Amino acid sequence: MIPLSYAQHRLWFLNRLEGASAAYNAPVVMRLEATPDRRALEAAVRDVVDRHEVLRTVYRAEDGEPYQHIVGDPDVRLETEECAPGDEVDARVTAFVRLPFDVTRDLPLRARLFTVHDGTAVLVLLVHHIATDGWSVGCLLTDLDRAYRARCEGRAPGWDPLPVQYADYALWQRDMLGDPGDPDSTAHEQLAHWRAALDGVPAATRLPADRPRPAEPSHRGALVTARLGAAAHKALAGTARAHRATFFMTARAALCVALRAAGAQADVVVGTPVAGRPEEDLHDLVGFFVNSLPLRADLSADPDLGTLLDQVREGDLAAMAHEDLPFDLLVEDLDPERSLGLHPFFQVMLTTQTAQDTTCRLGAVSGTLDAADLATAKFDLSFNCAETYRPDGEPDGVLLGLQYATDRYDEETAHLLLALFRRALTAYAEQPAGTPLSRTGLLSASEREAIDRRHEALTRAEQRNAATPGEPRDGDTPPTRSAADPREEILRGLFAEVLGRDEVGPGDSFFKLGGHSLLAGKLTNRIRKALGVQAAIRDVFLAPTPARLLRRLDEQGDGRVRPPLRPVPAALRPARLPLSAAQQRLWFVGQLEGPSATYNIPVVTRLRRPVGRAAFAAALADVVRRHEVLRTVHRSAGGEPYQEVLEHAEPVLDVVRTDGPDELRAAVDAAAGHVFDLAAEIPFRAWLLEDSGGDQVMVLLVHHIAGDGWSTGCLLADLAAAYAARAEGRVPGWQPLPVQYADYTLWQHELLDGEHGVAAEQLAYWRTALDGMPPLLALPTDRPRGPEPDGGGALAPFEVSAATHRALLRCARGSGVTLFMVVQAALAALLTRHGAGEDLAIGTTVAGRADEALHPLVGFFVNTLVLRTDTSGDPAFTELVRRVRDTGLAAYSHQDLPFDRLVEHLSPHRSTAHAPLVQVMLQVHAAGAGDASAAPSALDGEPLAFRGAGAKSDLTFALTETVGPDGKPTGLRGVLEYATALYDADTARLLTRRLAETLDAFAADPAAPLSALPYGPSAPGDGGREVVLDARGRRAPVRVPGEVHEPAPGGGLRATGRRAYRGADGVLRPVAVHTVGGYPVEPGQVEGVLTRHPAVTGVRVLVRDGRLLALVTCAPGTPPAESALRAWAAERLPEYLAPARVVRTAWLPAPGEDPAVLPEEEHTPVPGTGTDARLLGLFRDVLGGRDIGADDNFFKSGGHSLLAVRLLNRIRSEFGQDLTLRDVFRNPTAATLSQRLAGAVADGIEPEDAGPAPADRRAAAPALRRRTRAGARRG
């Protein structure tokens, strides 16, 4: 592939950065006195394009690297238009020259002939600057004239071949410059000059603009002109000769004087173009050879005019001796501040030339060259000087022009700046060389006042623009914090990969780490491949850090600009502040389960140095004053919770003396187990435990409603800073927080439900993503799930080796995913092999701090995401990782919708037996993330273990990366928190060991299918009778389900149709093969519960029409009512396992048989005027008047958690009965809740039994079954 020249690369980059535009169009407009021969002209244009390869080249890219693609047989046409003379032809020419180019697709030359009704014509050759420059215009016109003459004579032009083509120059240029790292190369030597010349140069020239610099320039421009008379021109020439300078050097010195008078810094940088054709072979070639030179002048000592001109002369000569170094290489090496709106090194350009003869010829047709009005501006200000001369060679004046960016300047200001330039030129022509610049008198008093007013107004506007909360400067984001979500982690990995670094922080600027335009192109390519989003180079310039770039891509993806997060003054806040979505969930859990320590966040640290009580107490108060959320109580009115921020609140500090390790441990556990009354006390308190052995232990306790894992670091940092200050007798000198948690709460409500809220769009995504997902993970447990979890939990630690850790990171980087996604895929494989199915829901938490203003804030921002994982088809691990990535990236792009809102709208089966949607959680933390031991030195110490509050989910896998002193991966430290009501410690240890084995296996062979997982030796058989085989026909390991096989009569094994797994004790345990309402159902569990009823002698549970049906036989005497038996089961089973019907019968069908006839099902009568009717009325009122029946489910009819609280309040008020939220969840219809309200279902004899047993059936004997819980016997 042929590389671009450095000058071309800059224009290609700008074309990719800013999109197709006319900013770099270079039109040649020929106004002809007659109409040329169209066919001959079209052939001549083709001849010229064929002669100059650069005119038939497009600029493509591969992996961000542009290259020249020379088109062999381009489709070159001469377009024609007919038009009237005067304004019409001028308007059409102007429209044509402003047409944009996309240099990746469009040939850089277009030709159009405008034939005018008066017999004249206008020929426009529109060339993109990437293929031409000012010098090239002469080459182009010469070759076109020669080709046209030949074609008019019926022959091809007979020119000599060009000695080289532009592609040859591009290759030669790189050879000529050499490697900048080679001390003997031209590039190395010239870079050394420019480094010294531009050391400490200001980022921008400050001038009295009318508007601040826009983040994205429009490149719209306009032109003002003036003229310097012949006398002044002649005097200037004399001044130049006296100082052995050129006209350009004199003009640059004058421009520096003018800019300084307009308020520029004393350190003035002006750019200028140089031809860039050092070899004679390039003189006849069309192409882009121009280079830009930044020329610096020092006006700090108020030099006189002559001294400044001498300084300028020396600087220009030195610059031109080093003009071969391409401007792009200079920018890449010196790495100035990057911005779309700020040209590096200079924003003011100066060009000078001798005014050229404007006559032109096209064969026999004569004409004139005309300047086209592009109305564009490449720089803030471009000054141009065109010298004119009389026929005798005497100076005849200078034409002055100023092309200015209308984004920043008004015409009045442009006229003033051009006038200042003209006056400075006049000063050099007329004033003595010894005149100090301060005495040149370029400005009148009124002009000086006007310039000062512009500077002041500009400063105020820039300060307003810089004071937006949530938009910190690059680098303000803590570089060591963990990624806000896996997409940010992927972005950080891509930044690091492109920049050749081991690690890039979320707030690290791409350009400050060495990035440049070429690398930005590579980065956007990798982003498109890894994240599946369209990222442009301009996005990297506008958002150069991973955190900001992710936010920008998110806003582009959903087409919405998020509302700004701003502080809301207390006077403008609502009287009752709503809770955030995350807080609302915890408040509801508190209403449902009652006060508990389950959602406490303790930080327990054994301090290395003793702390003073008074200073520590004062520091705690400082932190509470700083973070409103730590002095907020959470109350309710009419079932609606709200926040109340207390103006003054002192945190409780308990100082406790302990005697020995046992007492100390007990005190820690007691502190961590404190139960907050959220309506009456602030959610933060502290203990200092002082042991008789001299140890001092700090316990900080925050309720989850006011904090999260990220908040721990913020709290510790602020507390340490406050303590250090108080210990020195002063108040902490921290910067005010940009916003408070209450501001976030109001912002979140606007983000979700405001005029441009995201809730509806994100909910639509989740409806589709989770459609048909099972409500409960079918992972076999050691004990049946009860009607309510008891909250008990325990921990099982485990580790992953350093070698596997490194291999997993390589796998993640190679697949464009995060370590979390790799671990998620491995966990999904593990769960599938253990019988959880192939449609898995794995939950994870996301930080919820999309706006950087939230990063230093204590508060509860975390949201729960449901990551649906498809393991069907026995995919290779690499394929599973791809699936995880695709679904995960989509999920993270819709993470704003609160989990509770998701549950509320998707309305899955509400159960008190398990968490909705997800029961298995996964967290993967970066090294040091959320590590309380990383507290600042003022409160430095080591973390202490404490007794946990219990399990919030069935299984929560948490892994933390560890690194060595050199930052290299040293392994993963993991812990499994498991619900002890469901799992034994042995099972938990087995799962953790097998997760580590899964990670080891896939790290070693990522292409292996899931079924290849080696989980140790096969489970033992039972003496050669029944065995469990997996899908590959292999004997399944312990706890891995499969199909039960038994010995076949003729030898071998035959399938029984039953699924089971063998426990470590060798006992077969059945696996559910039925589903009811999406739930896995094992009829034996229901049978076991009903069998324990004292009146029941036998049970058969059937699945019929998607419901559970229980057939029971009862002991002689007065049998209980069927409704009483159902209530018995409902109190002891999860509601989804409670039989829809319990039917008493005199006989039980044999195994495998299903009775065809059953009694008619009883229907709940339509309520009358009693309790049932009143309760149904409350249901309807709370649901907004919806017309529901007594058997309609509250939650499936639009009810949700907050409405359930309202319903409960109404019931308490109406009936005076103190029901609980659990009662509403377990009795979600008016009919069943009415029964609960009555206190019990009365026993009674049903009107009919199911009928006599057929003659060939015998009465069922009591079932012989184990009556102890599976796994209850432990050795």
Among 3.30.559.10, 3.30.1330.10, 2.60.40.420, 3.50.50.60, what is the CATH number of 6-172?
A: 3.30.559.10
Per-range mean pLDDT, top range of 406-410, 536-540, 1023-1027: 406-410
Instruction: Spell out a b/e string for 1125-1152, using b for 16 or more CB atoms within 10 Å of the CB, else e.
Output: bbbbbbebbbbbbbbebbbbbebbbeee
Distance separating alpha carbons of residues 661 and 668, to the nearest angstrom: 10
pLDDT, tens only, 506-524:
888 888 888 877 788 788 8
Please state, in angstroms and rounded to a whole number, the distance separating the CA atoms of residues 506 and 485: 11
The pLDDT value recorded for residue 943 is: 81
Q: Is the pLDDT of residue 1099 over 70?
A: yes
Contact 560, 756 (CB under 8 A): yes
What does the alpha-carbon distance between residue 979 and residue 657 come to, in Å, rounded to a whole number? 34
Domain ranges of the chain: 6-172, 221-276+285-358+370-463, 486-558, 582-730, 747-1012, 1027-1070, 1074-1144, 1171-1238
The predicted pLDDT at position 557 comes to: 66
Kindly report which listed range (315-319, 474-478, 1011-1015, 1118-1122) carries the lowest average pLDDT score: 474-478
Tell me what pLDDT residue 930 has. Answer: 45
* CA distance linking residue 1178 with residue 1184, whole number of Å: 10
Phi and psi, residue 1188, nearest 5°: -115, 160
Report the candidate in 451, 470, 526 with the shortest Cα–Cα distance to residue 210: 451
Radius of gyration of the chain (CA): 40
> Averaged over 15-20, what is the pLDDT?
78
446-455 pLDDT per residue, tens: 898 888 888 8
Residues β-bridged to residue 21? 101
CATH 3.30.559.10 for the 582-730 domain, yes or no: yes
Percent of the residues in the chain that have a pLDDT greater than 70, as a whole number: 91
Name the residue among 1129, 1122, 1116 with its Cα closest to residue 1246.
1122
Lowest mean pLDDT among 23-27, 98-102, 466-470: 466-470
Residues 216/541, Cβ–Cβ less than 8 Å: no
pLDDT band at 83 (very low <50, low <70, confident <90, very high): very high
222-231: per-residue pLDDT in tens?
Answer: 999 999 999 9
pLDDT in tens, 780-802: 898 888 888 887 889 999 999 99
- Asked, colleague to colleague, whether 221-276+285-358+370-463 and 486-558 share their fold, the answer is no
Please, are residues 262 and 314 in contact by the beta-carbon 8 Å criterion?
A: no
Question: Is residue 956 within 8 Å of 976, Cβ to Cβ?
Answer: yes
What is the spatial distance between Cα 262 and Cα 410, in angstroms, rounded to a whole number? 15
pLDDT at 948: 64
Rounded CA separation 647/651 (Å): 13
Q: Which fold has domain 486-558?
A: 1.10.1200
Q: Residue 1212's pLDDT band (boundaries 50, 70, 90)?
A: confident
Cα–Cα distances (Å) from 473 to 212, 555, 565, 853, 1275, in that order, read 18, 19, 16, 11, 62
CA atoms of 689 and 667, how far apart (whole Å): 8
pLDDT band at 1162 (very low <50, low <70, confident <90, very high): very low
- Superfamily, domain 1074-1144: ANL, C-terminal domain (3.30.300.30)
The Cα–Cα gap between 249 and 1245 comes to 114
Number of other residues whose CB lies within 10 A of the CB of residue 491: 25
What are φ and ψ of residue 603, in 5° steps?
A: -120, 115
pLDDT of residue 347: 95
| Interval 431-442 mean pLDDT | 92
**Alpha-carbon gap, residue 583 to 589, rounded angstroms:** 10
- Over residues 482-490, the mean pLDDT reads 74
Per-residue pLDDT tens for 852-861? 789 899 999 9
Report whether pLDDT(1257) > 70: no
Reference 776, options 589, 911, 898; nearest CA is: 911
> Which has the minimum average pLDDT: 743-747, 772-776, 1066-1070?
1066-1070
Helix (H, G, I), strand (E, B) or coil at 1241: coil
Residues 239, 429 contacting (CB under 8 angstroms): yes
Which residue is listed with tokens 């990297």?
Answer: 540
- For residue 22, pLDDT over 60 is answered with yes
Q: What is the pLDDT of residues 121-174, one digit of tens each?
A: 999 999 999 999 989 999 999 999 999 999 999 999 999 999 999 999 999 999
Check residue 942 and give its pLDDT.
Answer: 82
Q: Are strands 969-979 and 955-963 parallel, antiparallel or unpaired?
A: antiparallel
Could you tell me which of 769, 765, 705 has the C-alpha nearest to residue 741?
705
Which H or E run contains 555?
A: helix 546-558
pLDDT band at 1061 (very low <50, low <70, confident <90, very high): confident
Per the model's pLDDT, the better-predicted residue between 306 and 354 turns out to be 306
643: left (phi over 0), alpha (psi -120 to 50) or beta: beta
421 Cα distance to chain centroid: 48
Mean pLDDT in residue range 944-973: 85
pLDDT in tens, 1129-1141: 888 898 888 898 8
Mean predicted confidence (pLDDT) in 1259-1268:
32
pLDDT bin (cut points 50, 70, 90) of residue 936 is very low
Work out the angle at residue 399's Cα, subtended by the Cα atoms of residues 397 and 402, and round it to the nearest 5 degrees. 150
Q: What's the DSSP call for residue 908?
A: P
Q: Which pLDDT value is given to residue 1018?
A: 58
CA angle 760, 763, 767 (to 5 degrees): 140
Q: In the predicted model, what is the mean pLDDT of the chain?
A: 86
Contact (Cβ atoms closer than 8 angstroms) between residue 598 and residue 950: yes
Question: Which of 151, 121, 117 is CA-nearest to residue 43?
Answer: 151
Structure-token pair, residue 20: 């197709």
Largest CA distance in the chain: 137
The secondary structure of 127-152, three-state, reads EEHHHCCHHHHHHHHHHHHHHHHHHH
**Residues whose CB falls within 8 Å of the CB of residue 753, separated by 6 or more in sequence, listed in order:** 759
3-class DSSP assignment, residue 378: coil
Q: How far is CA 210 from CA 460, 733, 797, in A?
A: 12, 38, 64
* pLDDT above 50 (res 1246): no
Instruction: Categorize the per-residue pLDDT at 480 as very low, low, confident or very high, splitting at 50, 70 and 90.
Output: very low
Contact 961, 969 (CB under 8 A): yes
DSSP string, 393-426: S-EEEEEEEEEEETTT--HHHHHHHHHHHHHHHH
User: Residue 533 has what pLDDT?
Assistant: 80
Looking at domain 747-1012, its CATH architecture is 2-Layer Sandwich (3.30)
* Non-local CB neighbours of 479 within 8 Å, separated by 6+ positions: 505, 506, 507, 508
Burial 22-37 (b: 16+ CB within 10 A, else e): bbbbbbbbbbbeebbb
pLDDT of residue 5: 93
Q: Which of 317-331, 884-898, 931-945 has the lowest mean pLDDT?
A: 931-945
**Tokens at residue 450, please?**
């006007």
Which tokens belong to 698?
A: 């700090």
CATH architecture assigned to 221-276+285-358+370-463: 2-Layer Sandwich (3.30)
Between 569 and 1014, name the one with better pLDDT.
569
For the stretch 917-929, pLDDT in tens is 999 999 998 876 5
Q: Which of 285-299, 417-431, 1149-1163 has the lowest mean pLDDT?
A: 1149-1163
Q: Tell me, rounded to whole angstroms, the distance of Cα 1116 from its chain centroid.
A: 69
Helix/strand/coil for 78: strand
> How many CB atoms neighbour CB 1052 within 10 A?
8
Separation CA 1101–CA 662 (nearest Å): 52
pTM over 0.85: no
Q: Express as a percent the part of the chain with pLDDT over 90.
A: 51
**Which of the listed ranges 9-23, 842-856, 1190-1204 does the model predict with the highest average pLDDT?**
842-856
What average pLDDT does the segment 189-198 reach? Answer: 95
Residue count (the chain):
1275
Of 27 and 22, the structure prediction assigns the larger pLDDT to 27
The mean per-residue pLDDT over the stretch 950-963 comes to 90
Q: Which two tokens stand for residue 445?
A: 């008093």
CATH of 1171-1238, one of 3.40.50.620, 2.20.28.10, 3.40.50.1110, 1.10.1200.10: 1.10.1200.10
Q: Given this model, what pLDDT does residue 334 score?
A: 86
Q: What is the pLDDT of residues 805-816, one digit of tens each?
A: 999 998 888 888
Residue 467 has pLDDT above 70, yes or no: no
Half-sphere exposure of 118 (CA within 13 A, CB side): 10
pLDDT at 424 over 70: yes
Residue 218 has pLDDT above 80, yes or no: yes
- Residue 1243 pLDDT level (bands cut at 50, 70, 90): very low
Contacts of residue 825, Cβ cutoff 8 Å, sequence gap at least 6: 869, 877, 880, 881, 883, 884, 1002
864: Cβ contacts below 8 Å, ≥ 6 apart: 843, 844, 845, 846, 899, 918
> Considering only CA atoms, which of 271, 292, 538 is closest in space to residue 381?
271
pLDDT at 949: 59
Return the number of other C-beta atoms located less than 10 Å from residue 572's C-beta.
8
Q: Is the pLDDT of residue 559 over 60?
A: no
Asked if the model's pLDDT at residue 1070 lies above 90, the reply is: no
Q: What is the pLDDT of residue 64?
A: 77
pLDDT above 60 (res 712): yes
Token digits of residue 414? 């442009």
